[in-house]
Amino acid sequence: MLPLLLAVLAAASPAPPLDAMPQTTLAPDLRCLLGAYALPRGRVLTITGEDGRPRTLRYTAAEGRFGALQEGPDGRFRGDDAEIYFAPCADGRLTLGSGEHALTGTRLATVEQETDFISDGLRLHGKLVLPPGGRPRALAVWIEGSNNDPSTDDSVWPHELARRGVAVFAYDKRGTGRSAGAPSSDFHVRARDTLAALQAARKLTPGQPRLGVIGASQGGWVAPIVASQAPLDFVVAAFAMAEGPIAQDRELVDQQLRDAGFDADARQQARTLTALTERIVRSGLQDGYAELDAFKAAHAGAPWLAALQPRSYTGVFLKFSSAELRQHGAAMAQGLSFDHDPRPLLESLRTRQLWLLGGSDRQAPNAGTQEVLRGLQREGRDVSVVVFPRADHGLIEPLPLPDGRRVPAYSPGLFDITADWLLHGRLPGSGRFVVLP
């Protein structure tokens, strides 16, 4: 959710960045392979791009399991426990596996339309994925998180929801994929881009389906801003926070120390540290470094300080000198709205909302978010919440296999639950705050 982390690591280390570099896209000859494929016995396999890599694909199986597919010299794509051969695009088929156990998949007849649209004078690229038959009852614009991946290639949500009857319009954030401009994490800039995407999506969609947004991670901060500026029928916030980036940083630091077994005294010292780094980010990453340097010197060698990881901006500040951060930090932060507090906005919204939260989220801790959402429910707001207890960020959790291995997978029922709420207003349990088994 915090691009400053990725930017600093990419700039300061010869290792590859943790997400795709801006302006990377899937090779055009592979783009026509994307989509959902029907396999025997009701199974479905969805193919997307992977981290903006030109010739790498990703598969997502019906049970939520996913993995990268590397292209081999024989034209087949292979990954962990998966081997796929794609027939020419016009044929719309793939073969999963080889030999007598091979399965043939046929691409579902979803309808895709690509378009460019203008926001703030910049040309942005989007893709609409319609359900088979092309007449959805709901249309959602997908708002990507802080990563630089090209959403029109890499996001699985449009394909998974489209095959369940929901149209989804994804667009490449400015400066990523096939969109012009420079990447921005200014939430209001991103909201303007999404408002332009809503107009583009509506023009391409037949009929007048219910219209809304799905904001993932950082996009969950952008989505309510959009809803405050446009008449929407729904807002979905996935692995997002109802608190702001400063609260996220503070809770991440506390969570890391709790997980590492440190006591209340160490955690209190950490709160002093996060108050110092809060001052820095509120100043546009220009002021407060002398106090931070004094704190580092006073606590040099403290085990709890070494335990902090660079998933928070405080963790990043501990890895680099104040001179480096003062010189490069503001540019690296991409205009991130550090002081954004979504709670007043959420309290003012009348749009119905669905929040999808991971109970084990190590990037966006959501205990405080759950308290905020329960408060909104008590105030009579139309807010529904589903918590997936084992899910980490991205609503991804370990899936146990018969051979004892555990592999990453999307939480069971995630896309069914989302589509059912969008189309029918139903939740997988009683009440409006559901914690799944």
User: Which residue type, as a one-letter code, is found at position 245?
Assistant: P
Strands 166-171, 138-143: pairing kind: parallel
For the beta carbon of residue 101, count every other beta carbon within 10 angstroms: 7
- Which residues fall within 8 angstroms of residue 395, CB to CB, at 6 or more apart? 238, 239, 356, 358, 388, 410, 411, 414
Rg (CA), the chain: 22
In the prediction, which pLDDT does 17 show? 36
In the prediction, which pLDDT does 7 show? 43
* CATH number assigned to the domain covering 32-107: 2.40.128
pLDDT digits (tens, 9 = 90+) for 330-345: 777 888 999 999 999 9
Contact 169, 128 (CB under 8 A): yes
Q: How do the pLDDT tens digits run along the chain, 437 residues long?
A: 554 444 443 344 333 333 567 778 999 999 999 999 999 999 999 999 999 999 999 999 999 999 999 999 999 999 988 999 999 999 999 999 988 889 999 999 999 999 999 999 999 999 999 999 888 999 999 999 999 999 999 999 999 999 999 999 999 999 999 999 999 999 999 999 999 999 999 999 988 899 999 999 999 999 999 999 999 999 999 999 999 999 999 999 999 999 999 999 999 999 999 999 999 999 989 899 999 999 999 999 999 999 999 889 999 999 889 998 888 887 778 889 999 999 999 999 999 999 999 999 999 999 999 999 999 999 999 999 999 999 999 999 999 999 999 999 999 999 999 999 999 999 998 899 999 99
CA distance linking residue 312 with residue 314, whole number of Å: 5
For the beta carbon of residue 374, count every other beta carbon within 10 angstroms: 14
Element (H, E) at 410: strand 406-410
Q: Which two tokens stand for residue 142?
A: 């997908």
In the prediction, which pLDDT does 241 show? 98
Compute, in degrees rounded to 10, the torsion defined by CA atoms 183, 186, 191, 193: -20
Q: Helices in 210-321 by DSSP H: which ranges?
A: 219-227, 245-259, 264-282, 289-298, 303-306, 313-317
pLDDT digits (tens, 9 = 90+) for 96-126: 998 888 999 999 999 999 999 999 999 999 9
Q: How many alpha carbons fall within 13 Å on the CB side of residue 104?
A: 6
CA distance linking residue 158 with residue 412, whole number of Å: 17
Report helix angle 219-227 to 187-204, nearest 10.
70
- Using left for φ > 0, alpha for ψ between -120 and 50, and beta otherwise, residue 290 falls in alpha
283 phi and psi, to 5 degrees?
A: -90, 10
* CATH number assigned to the domain covering 111-244+340-435: 3.40.50.1820
In the prediction, which pLDDT does 334 show? 87
Q: Which two tokens stand for residue 263?
A: 């006591």
CA distance linking residue 10 with residue 53, whole number of Å: 16
CA distance linking residue 412 with residue 424, whole number of Å: 19
Domain boundaries, the chain: 32-107, 111-244+340-435
The CA-atom distances, in angstroms, between 392 and each of 38, 253, 396, 403, 409 are 28, 16, 5, 23, 10
CA distance linking residue 22 with residue 182, whole number of Å: 8
In terms of Cβ atoms closer than 10 Å to its own Cβ (0-12, 13-18, 19+), residue 113 is middle
CA distance linking residue 312 with residue 197, whole number of Å: 30
Contact 169, 142 (CB under 8 A): yes
In the prediction, which pLDDT does 18 show? 38
3-state SS, 393-408, equals CCCEEEEECCCCCEEE
In the prediction, which pLDDT does 318 show? 92
